[in-house]
Structure 1
Amino acid sequence: MMRKFILFIFVFSFQFFPVHGQDTLATVTAEKGDGIYSLLRKHGVNPYEYYREFIDINLVNLRDSVHLYEGRIYAIPKVLMDTIPVVDSIQRQAKEVKEVEAKTYDIFGEKHKTVLSKSERLKGAIYYLVSGHGGPDPGAMAVYAGKSISEDEYAYDITLRLAKELLAHGASVYIIIRDENDGIREERILEMDRDEVAYPDKVIPLNQRDRLQQRVDIVNGLYKQNKGAYQRLIVTHVDSRSVGQNIDVFFYHHEKSQNGKRLAESIHKTFEAKYKQYQPNRTYSGTFEDRTSLFLVKKTHPAMTFIEIGNIRNEKDQRRILDPDNRQALAKWISEGVILDYEER
């Protein structure tokens, strides 16, 4: 279900209390369970707009350049435009009124269903997003804090977040594996279920080859339907390796697809840049390479990339996968690589 409406946003100006002639920043203490995205949201700051600035001003006080320490004090970026309703805005003066286009998509869940337009940088582009496994097949399994966790739930959550980012930049998006009940979730442990369906509402087969062929048929059918348009496929999985093996994000493409290779390379290049910026003391070891042996890589028609997010059984990788802020960052970085690929085509 999709509805279109207009939001009227008031742009306010406000001042901070000066200290020795300089503006000072508000500070907050990180509580247990806080991440950068949740901390900014909690204090009325748009995390997507101010994530990078928050890291810049708090870099020396962050673990691995991206994680908060419980009990430490962090500075909140000075907000020049506040689009969040606040009760103390009575002292602020409205400078202008903007019309912002927004649409709602129920598949993202009640809290996340509104998609505000950020740009039209992906206008004309069509993306097919396939999250790994689903339905009768949970994919890779592990145990965290005494509870079972599964690949399909985390791949799906990241895929939904990616879909929302792409939509915000004007793309058309088909979410191929769907769960109308889940939406984007903020929990670390995502409850497992088996009610996912394949676009638009097909039962996912029990047989593995049949499941993969169903996805191929759906994607190729839509590709034919949208013939002549710019079309790309992004498949998201979570790997399962030995417990002690910590891996980075990997990208695969068809060996004969130059467009697929460029898409994988663009996202990989974005991840390399992000690691250099946010984790300068850690080398990024993820690669992009051809992997035509993978069924979806071999059989689907659109240029595509197949993404492995991490090892669900490894403790360090679990931090990347289970932390909702990290899942959002992954989706954001992938989307930036997708935009780079589209604009450099």
Structure 2
Amino acid sequence: MKIIESIVSISKVDHERVEHVWHNLGFPYVMVKYMVVCICAVQFVVAQDSLNTVTAEPGDGILSLLRKQGVDPYEVMDEFIYINSERLKDSVHLVAGRTYVMPRTVLDTVAIVDSIQKQSTDIKKLESSKYDLFGEKHKNVIAKSKRLKGTIYYLVSGHGGPDPGAMGTYAGKAIAEDEYAYDITLRLARELMAHGATVYIIIQDGNDGIRDDRILEIDHDEVAYPDKEIPLNQVARLKQRVQIVNDLYKDNKGKYQRLIVTHVDSRSEGQNIDVFFYHHEKSKNGKKLAESIHKTFEAKYKKFQPNRTYAGTFEDRTSLYLVKKTHPAMTFIEIGNIRNAKDQVRILDPDNRQALAKWISEGILLDYEDK
């Protein structure tokens, strides 16, 4: 009964959160359901908390909406997305005029766990890890599931170091491929880690982290895993990446391993393109990975942009150096045209970069679980 008393103030919208936390703590499914039912019963008898909701206005993003409510968006953003998942567009976008439930506070969940942990010495701690590479605001990664436990993913963002890659202009400022590919890659890494995957981020910038700006400042201090200087020469740069990935692949022999390479394309300014996926022509698993992510994108477009046909494809492109030379099954992703105004919206908007990372991660989950 003490457990119930410690969480009686939690509203009904939090029950799913409680259930999610208790599953992560290792409680049997039947016990979890019983405890949640008990909470509902106690709440009905004692009192029903009123839900704190807010209606999105035109132009609102999740970050701006949370700021307007007087809370630190980086502390509660993941919680907000979790409890409003069915109300969001493209997994992370608000819909003007739609009402959303505000998180009570992330401390509610911690308090729940702490109060339960005091009842037993056998309960596991809530899984949460810190990764400084993601930056101060995003370094805490709370486990969502163990769906990718035992898997290994190598993530390579295009260019970096002395080579910024494709260049474009937005609002009179130069924008570079490597900065946006890297930001999306970090967001993807965070999603995969939250589901239990081991992730190697092959290109790293210790100063940047995940950034929520439209204009990402260009620098040249990226290194190759673990701390190797990136060569200026293109062939040398590609050989370095291949060597790093293949050495890690050998070290992890016998384990489930996949490679994701992320680039931003450069074409004529008038050419609006979709997201494309490439694989090795002889790799059955690479083709399946590319197809799974492609299917996810098709489904998202059909649901959220029914009046627009998704033109992105998945196909073999063995001529690409990393596709040809690396050993893990892989997919090579082209995000869009950095010089096209419509594609720039997809690339520059931080909410869109998060959506891209989440869609890719959902495709990866589909690929792994459809074995």
Q: CA deviation at 1:337?
A: 0.6
Task: Name the structure 2 match of 1:84.
Answer: 106
Aligned counterparts of 2:100 and 2:9: Cα–Cα separation in 1 = 17
Question: How far is the alpha carbon of 1:65 from its aligned partner?
Answer: 11
SS of the aligned residue for 1:76 comes to strand
Q: What are the within-5 Å matches in structure 2 for residues 282-321 of structure 1?
A: 282-321=308-347
1:42 and 1:173 mapped to 2: Cα distance?
A: 35
After TM superposition, give the deviation of residue 313 of structure 1 in Å.
Answer: 0.6
Alignment TM-score, normalising by the size of structure 2: 0.78
1:49 aligned counterpart, secondary structure: helix
Q: Which residue, 237, 242, 248 being the options, matches 2:268?
A: 242
- Equivalent residues in 2 for 1:221-300, closer than 5 Å: 221-300=247-326
1:14 alignment partner in structure 2? 11
Following superposition, the deviation at residue 36 of structure 1 comes to 3.9
Aligned to 1:189: 215
Q: 1:117, 1:170 within 8 Å by CA — same for their partners in 2?
A: yes
Letter in 1 for 2:54: T
Q: Check 1:102–1:41 CA distance in 2 against 1; reply closer, same or farther (3 A cut).
A: farther
Relative CO higher for 1 or 2, CA cutoff 8 Å, sep ≥ 6?
1
* Bigger strand fraction: 1
Unaligned runs of 5+ in 1: 1-8, 17-22, 57-63
Structure 2 distance, partners of 1:224, 1:94, is: 40
Give % identity: 69
SS in 1 for 2:141: strand
In the other structure, the counterpart of 1:27 is 54
- Output the CA distance in 2 between the equivalents of 1:235 and 1:343: 21
Aligned pair count?
315
Greater CA radius of gyration, 1 or 2?
A: 2
RMSD value, Cα: 2.9
Match in the other structure for 1:324? 350
Shift of 1:183: 0.2
SS in 1 for 2:191: helix
2:130 match: 104
- SS for the counterpart of 1:269 is helix
DSSP 3-state at the match of 2:257: strand
Letter in 2 for 1:84: V
Q: Do the aligned partners of 1:237 and 1:308 also contact (CA within 8 Å) in 2?
A: yes
Deviations 1:141-197 (A, max 9, x none): 011011100000000000000000000000000000000000000001000000000
For residues 34-49 of structure 1, the aligned pairs below 5 Å read 34-36=60-62, 38-39=64-65, 43=69, 46-49=79-82
Given that 2:56 and 2:100 are in contact with CA atoms closer than 8 Å, whether structure 1 keeps it comes out as no
Provide the rounded CA distance (Å) in 1 between the counterparts of 2:8 and 2:204.
Answer: 37
**Contact 1:251-1:306 at 8 Å conserved across structures:** yes
CA distance in 2, matches of 1:269, 1:221: 31
- 8 Å Cα contact 1:131-1:159 kept in structure 2: yes
